[in-house]
A and B are shown apart, each in its own frame.
Chain A
Amino acid sequence: SQQGEEDPQALSIQEGENATMNCSYKTSINNLQWYRQNSGRGLVHLILIRSNEREKHSGRLRVTLDTSKKSSSLLITASRAADTASYFCATGPNNAGNMLTFGGGTRLMVKP
């Protein structure tokens, strides 16, 4: 079963625009992570935000976490064609060791 639900399922934007993806989850978490998967490639970790954090930045990425609403968002600023990929949120539940439950992903296309 997949705990996270990403929204939208697909997103198409022009290069230079910002892309926002949302993730909702159901149970309490220790942390939430975002991963990227390019066509034909494995998953690559982008950023981790812990349950006691509200916002985190990494380069052009900004992640927010609202534990009261059980939701997170990933913002990619000034998108590039190379950002075209599927983006997955993954939640790490409390007291379950380092295990992750992935959502269904958002497929982002950035047009040059």
Chain B
Amino acid sequence: EAGVVQSPRYKIIEKKQPVAFWCNPISGHNTLYWYLQNLGQGPELLIRYENEEAVDDSQLPKDRFSAERLKGVDSTLKIQPAELGDSAVYLCASSVGRGTYGEQFFGPGTRLTVL
């Protein structure tokens, strides 16, 4: 069974440029998460989707970050414009569905470097 797929694995951009990350969750998983992980720290939730609906986006900096999950399957996270402080690893995860409490399955992440 394929795991959570993310692309690209690495991205280097200059500040003020836009960048987008893509995630394909495990088949059948209705819940999708985007996390940000700074070096030496634990992941912090940016946004959580239940199917197409963003049910928790309180930590998403909405002035420059946006996300979508149009068909309730794969998702895109965008930053425009990127700032130096956005350099981090962006992790995507998925889990089975609403109302269940269980493990989340993580992708390998996209390491973003903003110069």
Contact = CB atoms under 8 A, between A and B. Distances in A.
B105 interface: yes
A88 B44 CA distance: 12
A88 B37 CA distance: 12
B100 A2 contact: no
Contact of B102 (A35, A98, A104, A105): A98
Contacts of A41: 108
B104 A102 contact: no
A92 B101 contact: yes
A31 interface: yes
A99 B56 contact: yes
B50 interface: yes
A103 B42 CA distance: 6
Contact of A42 (B91, B96, B103): B91
B101 A98 contact: yes
Contacts of A30: 101
Nearest to A107: B40
B99 interface: yes
Interface in B18-70: 31, 33, 40-45, 48, 50, 55-56
Contacts of B100: 98
Contacts of B4: 42
Interface string A18-45: 0000000000001101010000011111
Given A30-B101, A44-B106, A97 B42 contact: no
Interface of A: 1-2, 4, 30-31, 33, 35, 41-45, 48, 50, 88, 90, 92, 97-105
16 contacts: A1-B44, A2-B42, A31-B101, A43-B93, A45-B103, A45-B104, A50-B101, A88-B42, A88-B43, A90-B42, A97-B48, A97-B55, A98-B95, A98-B100, A103-B42, A104-B40
